[in-house]
Structure 1
Amino acid sequence: MNTPKTDWPSSLDDNELDELDRYLRAHANDGDLLLDGVHGMLSALAVGPVQVLPEEWLPEVLHEPFADEDEGNRVLALLAKLNDSINAELDVDAYEPILGEIDTESGPVLSAAGWCEGFSRAIDLRAGLWEKRLADDPHLMELLGPVMALAVDEGILSAEADFEKLSDEEYDECLTQVPIVLGAVGQYWQEHPATDAEMQAVSQERNTDKTVGPPRQRSGHWVH
């Protein structure tokens, strides 16, 4: 899509991404989301079946009191800008997932593990609705295929059957499909909105305590 630069969404610039990344790392414990995970979570919420307010997702991101009001206002402003940019980027085909890096024997490589972890946690916020629809409509599972493959490959999700690790080429191909997946899933939920029965499941799970899975180690820094 040839979109005039002036029409492109106002996303976080590199300095702002660095700033948010440093804050999250400085206040993260094992298993807490870093910048890649926060981006994955907000991406899933942006294309999900129902709105999830900040009061619900912020506890997944912020775990300590702010040092002062100025710090709080700044961090919340950066998170709000990151959140607002996602739909805008999808609208103009400018979306890219924020990925992490992991150290390997051959050097640092990109990893979708953190992004997929955040995506999975967003689904958990409306687990009853997602699970019922995925069980009832295989088409939604098909649309999510590349993201699910990455999540299984990274150990974020478990596969019901034996799963062969993705080759480097398959992994990269799944990554290139992420923006397409998000657009398709968002359109799916617009065309097939949640039913009254599914919304009742949402109301019930809001009153149910959720357990958190085992922490997953990640290293490296954000890559946009």
Structure 2
Amino acid sequence: MRTTDWPSSLTNTELDELDTFLRTAAKEGDLLLDGVHGLLTALIVGPEPAPPDEWLPEVLHAPFADPQQGERVLALLAKLNDSIGAELDVDAYEPILGELDDIEGPTLSAAGWCEGFSRGIDLRAGFWEHRLAEDVELIELLGPIMALAVDEGVLASDAEFEKLSDEEYEACLQRLPEVLLSVARYWHEKAPSEDERRAAHERQPEEARTENKPPRQRDGHSLH
């Protein structure tokens, strides 16, 4: 749960409100609050920001029946988006994680967050795929995120990996804030050139959209 309330961050009440709306409106495969947080995080720390009219279709899939509710949800999503960079700047970032029911009690899961992060990368796939193929530094920086994503089945791997132990899983979660800051610094210091931007947009695959992503089943509720 949130331990510190920063002015730009959503309160727990606001998070619950947004979580409830997303769960009520969600169909199979749609992102929930943890996934939306991962999606927006990938765009914040990545090579090029995305305007709301680009990422909102990844989150909202039907018109609002109530215009007043629509204005409220859009305001909460905007505040969630704005909070990510602000929290990273003051070392207060916490990923929003899903809570799964387990025979030994509720457990936190990064599956939804990782799914959203991967979809955020998809929105800028032309940049990411080129750099990941050319610069091993970026692969190394993303190591903990990739480990969580492979462990949760969000990313496929040609090699076989043993499931992370509870300690390893927790260690990856603990490293997420520093990893995200390092990735943001990477793209700031190695910003794409104009030629790279042009090429990235030309090779951005049309099929890299959320409707082609396999659905993920998640129970419980999202936390911050």
Same fold (TM over 0.5): yes
The secondary structure found in structure 2 opposite 1:107 is coil
> How do 1:42-191 and structure 2 match up within 5 A?
42-191=40-189
More deviation, 44-53/209-218: 209-218
How far residue 214 of structure 1 moved from its aligned partner, in angstroms, is: 1.3
Determine the structure 2 residue equivalent to 1:204: 202
Residue of structure 2 in register with 1:220 after alignment: 220
| Unmatched segments (≥5 aa) in structure 2 | none
CA contact 1:132–1:198 (8 Å) conserved in 2: no
4+ runs of 1 displaced by more than 3 Å? Answer: none
Distance 1:24 1:48 in 2: 25
The letter of the residue matching 2:216 is R
Q: Deviations over 1:97-138 (max 9, x none)?
A: 000011122221000000000000000001121011011000
For residue 100 of structure 1, give the secondary structure of its aligned residue in structure 2: strand
Structure 1 residues 10-48: Cα deviation after superposition (integer angstroms, max 9, x where no partner): 210011001000000000011100000000111111100
> Cα RMSD over matched residues?
1.5
Contact 1:9/1:89 (8 A) holds in 2: no
Check conservation: 2:126, 2:201, Cα contact below 8 A: no
User: Structure 2: how far apart are the matches of 1:86 and 1:74?
Assistant: 19
Identity %: 65
**Contact 2:125/2:208, CA 8 A, preserved across alignment:** no
Question: 1:161-185: CA deviations, max 9, x gaps?
Answer: 1111100000000000000011000
Output the TM-score relative to the length of structure 2: 0.93
Aligned residues: 219
Specify the code of the residue in structure 2 equivalent to 1:222: S
TM-score when normalising by structure 1:
0.93
